[in-house]
Each structure stands twice: as C-alpha cells, then as structure tokens.
Amino acid sequence: METGTLDDAGQGGEHEPHDGTQPGEPHEPVWTGLPSGLLRMRRLLLVVWLGPLTIGLALLLGLLAGPAWAAFALLPLALLLWGWPMLGRNWRSWRYAERADDLLISRGVLWREETVVPYGRMQLVEVTSGPVERHFGLASVQLHTAAAATDARIPGLDPGEAERLRDRLTELGEARSAGL
Amino acid sequence: MSAPGVERDGEEVGPEVGQDVGAENPVIEHRLHPVTPLRRAWAPIAVIFGWAMHDPDGTQRQLSRLTTTTLLIALAVVVPAAALYGFLSWWFTHFSVTGTELRIRTGLVFRRTAHIRLERIQAIDVTQPLLARVAGVAKLKLDVVGTDKKDELAYLGEAHARALRAELLARAAGFEPDSAHEVGEAPVRQLLHVPAGVLAVSVVLSGATWATLVGAVVVPPVLWFATHSVWTVLATALPLFGAAGASSVGRFVGEYDWTVGESPDGLRIDHGLLDRAHETVPPGRVQTVRIVEPLLWRRRGWVRVELDVAGSSNSVLVPVAPRAVAEGVIERVLPGVTVPRSLDRPPRRAGWCVPFWWRGYGLAVTDSVFVARHGLLRRSVSLVPHAKVQSVRLAQGPWERHKGLADVHVDTGANKTVTARLRDADEAARLLAAQADRSRTGRKEALPDRWMA
C-alpha cells in the first residue's frame, strides 16, 4: 500500500502543530509521516553492514576458493539492492495522527498494523534516542498503557517534534485520565 | 512497566513514622499474628531433607562421622538462630491503614516500605492454607497492579483479617475515614453455589484430566522399554503423576464448595476444601470475562466462566454451571451486559487463511461489550466491556490482505488481548474506528474508582 501523497509533509522535518479537532472532517484524521532522516539512517546502516560484507566475502572466496565461489558474494549484494527500496516502502508506510481523543499509528507494508490508543489510557510516554539516532538528529516516542500488548511506538522523529508530542500527549493524558 | 498503584522506597524510615500524620488522627501501626515466625519453620528441614535425598551415600558417611556432642552443639546454635531471625523479622514488620493507603513496613537488614493506594485496589484476597486454618489465622493480600508476594499480610488472626478486609473495602469505597472501621462487613447475597457432585462430574468430563492421566500411564512404560533405567522412569513418572493429580484431584479440592456472592463491596468468591480462599472484587474491576465450553460438557449445557482482574492471580469465576445460571452471574458482574445469543462468523473466504477452524471464530459488538469467540471443539467466548479497552489494533498479514481479511485486537488492562480474527477488511477498519469511539463513551459512563463516594 502506497501512502506517498501524505509523506511529503514529513520530508522537511518541519511540522505544523496538528490537532484533530479541526472543523469539517471529524472522521478523516490528519496524518503525519516521518521525517526523511530515519530513511537516511536506515539506508546508511544497510550499506554500512552489507557493503563491506559483499566486498569481503567476494575477496575472501575469490582468493581462497576460486572465482566461481565468489558468486556467493552476490547474496548480500542482492539483499542490499532489495533492502534499499524495501526500507523506502516501510518508511513511507509509517504515519501517525493526533485526534481529539486518541492517537493513531499506522505502519507496515506486508504486515500492516494500525493502533488506536486513547489519551486517557496512557500510563507513561517515553522519548528515547540511541547514539546512532542522536547522530542523525532523531528520537522515538513510545506510549505505554496498562496493557503490555499495546505496541505504540513512533520511531525517527525530529527531537523537537518528539518533545512536543510527548508534552502534548502527557497534557491530554492528564486531562482525560481514566483508571484501569 | 511501571506499577501505578504501588510506591516503594528503600529509604530508612524513622521509628516515629507512625505518629507523623496529623496530630489528632494518629496512624496506628499493627503487627502480624504471633504465629507468623513459624510459617517458615519447615524451610531448613526441607533443605536438609533435600540434601539428604540428593546424595544418600554421602549423607550416611557424614552422619556416621557425627558424634552426639557435635549434633547437640549444632542444634544449640541453629535452633536459637532460626528462632531469633523469625522473631526479629516478625518484630520489624508493621502495617497500618491510613485514609488513602495501606502501609507495610518490613525488613530487618534491608528496610522496605510499600504504600498501597486503596483506590487502586483491584481485588482483596483472604486465604487460609490448611495449617493456617488449624491455627486460626489467615493471609490477606491486596491485588494492585504491580504488587507481588511480598506485599501480602501473612498471617493475621482470622477475625482480624475479616475486619481489616471490611475496613479496607469501606475506605476504598470512599466512606469517611472516621466511620470506616465501623461500617463492618457488607451483607452478601448468594448468586451461585456449585454442588460437589456436579463439580466431580465436570472434572471427569474434562479433556485435561484424561490427557494428563493417559500421559502418566503411557509414558513411563514406554520409557522403561526404551532405556531400562529406573531413574529416568521415576524422574518422568513422578511429575506426570503430579500433573495428573493436580488437574483432577487438585482441581476438585481447589474448586470445592465454590460460592459466588454479591455485596455492595463487589463480588465475593469463596472456595476450597482444604485451603480456603475468599476473594472480593470491587465493582467495575473486571477487565474481561470468558465463557469456556469444553466439548464433553456441551451435551449437559455446562460452561466454565473465567475472569481477568488486573494484578489478581485467580482467574475463575464459575468452575462449572448451566449456561443460563452462568449468564445470570455474568450479568451481575458486568452490569447492563447481556451475553449475545448469536455471533457473526467471518466470511467464507476466511477458510483459505485458517482452514476448518475459521468456523469457530465469531464476533459481536453490543452497546456495552466487545465479544469474540474462538475454538471449534472447546469454544471460548470473551467479553470485554468497552470501558476497559486500553488500545485497539488492526493487523493484516500479506495472505490476509490477498483475501481481503484483517484481525482486530482489543487490549485490556489485565494483559489479556481479545482478538476478532479474519474479519472482512472494510468491516475491520470500521470496527477499529467505532471501537475507539465506543471505548471513549464507555469510559465516561464507567463507575468511579471509589464506588460509594
């Protein structure tokens, strides 16, 4: 499933603050894509891991076992060439929408998953950023509810946007808080 | 995962902690029942016994080397030391009830203070193992998300445990702090009692009983022919017979005299032949209810009802009852809920994803509950009140998308997920949106945590 038209909003890494309470179409959520930094990071990691592996394997097999064996190095190369567009597809499939009372997260191409988490159910909101993510200026937001099965994570956000989202979610969660 | 209801701190608490909350309303600290130190008396004996069993020859040799004097000296050291430890750990365990919390202060070397917030109570259990019944004592445990075994009050005097349960429930319900311990036990109206005969027949008709029994009878001889080793056979036969016993006799003993009652404090469940357990689930704490119908029970029209309460270990509401009676109990447990008569099956093409078993799947959504069924031979129908839904997820794999199908998962606070499988993709998308709306309005109408306030 292609969701390309919606993704352009995410390209610049700049977001207007959305609120789902916009008049007009209460049922059509305003989707936000992810900034392109995540795609860049994932593609770089793909090349960094599989590129040297291809070259190393080709050299090693070519020198030790003969040139015919070096064809096995095509395997990681094929994986690299296949993974490049796949990462793009996966990145385009990620999107989220803040509605008046709940957060929507939609993701996945082959295994599609759409999650709805009401703000009142949030137990805590986590913003994490690993060393590689930090280098690319990315952060992910994770929502926890009382149900451990709730899998509500938005990866690869701009740190400013992640913090804005965290603050907004916390504020809305407090306003609509409900017990178990 | 955080524990919203429980706050713990390892800090050293001053000895005057009991007096610091408001001069006119001092917090009274209590100790547990004096038999408490004895509850672990069997542990060192078990350790020695286990060691002796583990290496019989070595034990023989060690014992022959021992003289009476060394034995006496060892006893003279070990017994007082154990007694002292037991006494001190009892002496340093205190609990108190404040307007909003149950505080448990314990630990001899590593101090530990648990403050359990009463409005977060999901259930209160008073249990009496056989020996505790003989001694006239009981354990009291508050089920809050995140509590563990250390947070139970073991042991209290029987009458004290009941009075404390009544007081905790009154405070949790929102009665005034001054009158809370005068409210007393709420009256109980019995909803259901399971006769012993019906329970025995239901255990005999369970698949699990027969499966474990057949396993216990068949596997050891097969192993004997294969290995001719006594120890291998014993090592497998003992656990197998244990499992067979637990699933038949153990279940009968545990579910004997099962009584479900209703009181203003919520649901009362009492059961047990040797170990008695009394559970109280305040109103609005039930997250999911499951009606399970094993194949062999179907002719008699019997069902088993299970329930999930966050933080509680007990999951049975009715071990066996005729369907109509069980549905009556469910209507009391989830007010305003009727169990739907018919559930929608997935479309026919679902057979391409899950052959044959797709016929067991079903879904119904009413004003108050989300109902999903699965299982063909052993049917299981799960009900989730809309107000208890934590999050809703739609999932679709590649083959499901090819067939235009999708699954809808509903997550609840008891860490149980109820899934409506293989729905039509458009229907699933509508269901996802509608379920989010329904659970929002359901939450607004839900009872407050303090149900009497």
Of A110, A120, A150, the CB nearest to B443: A120
| CB pair distance less than 8 Å for A149 and B432 | no
| CB pair distance less than 8 Å for B310 and A146 | yes
- Listed range (A28-42, B144-158, B268-282, B362-376) with the worst mean pLDDT: B144-158
Is the Cβ of B143 closer than 8 Å to some Cβ of chain A?
no
Of B122, B391, B443, the CB nearest to A150: B391
- Listed range (B336-340, B347-351, B383-387) with the worst mean pLDDT: B336-340
Of B287, B394, B440, the CB nearest to A113: B394
Distance CA A79, CA A46 (A): 9
* The pLDDT of residue B256 is above 60: yes
Distance CA B296, CA B40 (A): 43
Q: Which residues of B touch A96 (CB under 8 A)?
A: none
Of A27, A111, A146, the CB nearest to B390: A146
Is the Cβ of B449 closer than 8 Å to some Cβ of chain A?
yes
Backbone angles phi, psi at A83, to 5 degrees: -65, -35
- Give how far A58 is from chain B: nearest CA, Å: 34
Instruction: Report residue B41's pLDDT band, with 50, 70 and 90 as the boundaries.
Output: low
Q: Are B153 and B139 in contact (CB under 8 A)?
A: yes
Strand partners, B268: B261, B280
Q: Which residues of A touch B423 (CB under 8 A)?
A: none
Highest mean pLDDT among A2-6, A89-93, B141-145, B182-186: A89-93
Q: Which residues are within 8 A (CB) of B412 and not within 5 positions of it... i.e. 6 or more apart?
A: A147, B287, B288, B308, B384, B388, B389, B390, B418
Residue A111 CB coordination number (10 Å): 12
Of B120, B391, B394, the CB nearest to A145: B391
Q: Which residues of A touch B413 (CB under 8 A)?
A: 145-147, 180
Tokens for A68, please give them.
Answer: 């015919």
B residues 111-140 closer than 8 Å to A (CB): 120, 122
* The pLDDT of residue B176 is above 90: no
Is the Cβ of B293 closer than 8 Å to some Cβ of chain A?
no
Q: For the CA atoms of chain B, what is the radius of gyration? A: 26
What average pLDDT does this structure show over B152-181?
A: 84
Strand partners, A103: A98, A117
pLDDT at B246: 86
- The one-letter code for the residue type at B214 is V
What average pLDDT does this structure show over B75-82?
A: 82
pLDDT at B40: 67
- Residue with the bigger pLDDT between B122 and B445: it is B122
What average pLDDT does this structure show over B185-210?
A: 90
- The one-letter code for the residue type at B418 is V
Average pLDDT, rounded, for chain A: 82
| CB pair distance less than 8 Å for A150 and B412 | no
A109-152 pLDDT per residue, tens: 989 999 999 888 888 888 999 898 899 999 999 988 888 888 88
What average pLDDT does this structure show over A69-79?
A: 89
pLDDT at B86: 83
Highest mean pLDDT among A14-23, B143-152, B440-449: B143-152
| DSSP β-ladder status, B189-193 and B362-365 | unpaired
- Give how far B394 is from chain A: nearest CA, Å: 5
pLDDT at A65: 85
| CB pair distance less than 8 Å for A118 and B440 | yes
Query: Smallest Cα–Cα separation from B218: which of B228, B207, B210?
Result: B210
Closest residue in A to B393 (Cα) is A115
Distance CA A168, CA A163 (A): 8
* The pLDDT of residue B258 is above 90: yes
Is the Cβ of B436 closer than 8 Å to some Cβ of chain A?
yes
Closest residue in A to B390 (Cα) is A121
- Give how far B436 is from chain A: nearest CA, Å: 7
Q: Which residues of A touch B396 (CB under 8 A)?
A: 111-113
Distance CA B146, CA B151 (A): 10
* The pLDDT of residue B45 is above 80: no
Tokens for B173, please give them.
Answer: 């319900």
* The pLDDT of residue B1 is above 50: no
Burial letters B87-107, b for 16+ CB under 10 A, else e: eebbeebbbbbbeebbbbbbe
Tokens for A8, please give them.
Answer: 């352009």
* The pLDDT of residue B39 is above 90: no
Q: Are B396 and B405 in contact (CB under 8 A)?
A: yes
- The one-letter code for the residue type at B183 is V
| DSSP β-ladder status, B259-263 and B389-396 | unpaired
Distance CA B105, CA B83 (A): 21
Tokens for B240, please give them.
Answer: 């197998």
Strand partners, B395: A113, B407
pLDDT at B5: 44
Distance CA B264, CA B173 (A): 9
pLDDT at B290: 94
What average pLDDT does this structure show over B440-448?
A: 72
| CB pair distance less than 8 Å for B390 and A150 | yes
CA atoms within 13 A on the CB side of A157: 22
Distance CA B423, CA B407 (A): 6
Average pLDDT, rounded, for chain B: 84
Closest residue in B to A124 (Cα) is B2
* The pLDDT of residue B392 is above 70: yes
- Residue with the bigger pLDDT between B415 and B348: it is B348
- Listed range (A51-60, B3-12, B114-123, B143-152) with the worst mean pLDDT: B3-12
pLDDT at A12: 38
Q: Which residues of B touch A102 (CB under 8 A)?
A: 436, 440
- Listed range (B69-73, B203-207, B305-309, B379-383) with the worst mean pLDDT: B69-73
Q: Does this complex have an ipTM over 0.90? A: no
pLDDT at B107: 82
Is the Cβ of B431 closer than 8 Å to some Cβ of chain A?
no
B103-143 pLDDT per residue, tens: 998 887 888 888 888 888 889 999 999 988 998 999 998 88
Distance CA B410, CA B365 (A): 12
What average pLDDT does this structure show over B219-239?
A: 87
Is the Cβ of B411 closer than 8 Å to some Cβ of chain A?
yes
Q: Which residues of A touch B401 (CB under 8 A)?
A: 112
Q: Are A51 and A78 in contact (CB under 8 A)?
A: no
pLDDT at B24: 47
| CB pair distance less than 8 Å for A102 and B411 | no
Q: Are A93 and A109 in contact (CB under 8 A)?
A: yes
What average pLDDT does this structure show over B361-386?
A: 93
Q: Which residues are within 8 A (CB) of A88 and not within 5 positions of it... i.e. 6 or more apart?
A: A39
Of B390, B443, B449, the CB nearest to A147: B390
| CB pair distance less than 8 Å for B401 and A112 | yes
Q: Are B188 and B262 in contact (CB under 8 A)?
A: yes
Q: Which domains does chain B have, with CATH numbers?
A: 6-186 (no CATH), 196-255 (no CATH), 286-445 (2.30.29.30)
Backbone angles phi, psi at A148, to 5 degrees: -65, -20
In chain A, which ranges are E strands? Answer: 32-33, 95-98, 102-107, 112-118, 122-128, 139-145, 152-157
- Give how far B411 is from chain A: nearest CA, Å: 6
pLDDT at B2: 40
Distance CA B365, CA B384 (A): 10
Helix (H) or strand (E) holding B268: strand B266-271
Q: Which residues of B touch A151 (CB under 8 A)?
A: 393
Query: Smallest Cα–Cα separation from B198: which of B60, B300, B326?
Result: B300
Q: In what order do the strands lie in the sheet with A122-128?
A: A122-128, A139-145, A152-157
- Residue with the bigger pLDDT between A16 and B270: it is B270
- Give how far A179 is from chain B: nearest CA, Å: 7
Instruction: Report residue A27's pLDDT band, with 50, 70 and 90 as the boundaries.
Output: low
* The pLDDT of residue B252 is above 70: yes
What average pLDDT does this structure show over B194-209?
A: 91
- The one-letter code for the residue type at B378 is R
**Residue whose structure tokens are 């208890």:** B388
Percentage of chain B lying above the pLDDT 90 cut: 40
Please, where are the H alpha helices in B92-206? 130-135, 158-173, 180-183, 196-204
3-state secondary structure of B256: coil
Of A102, A113, A123, the CB nearest to B393: A113
Strand partners, B417: B411
Is the Cβ of B287 closer than 8 Å to some Cβ of chain A?
yes
Query: Smallest Cα–Cα separation from B339: which of B295, B385, B395, B301?
Result: B385
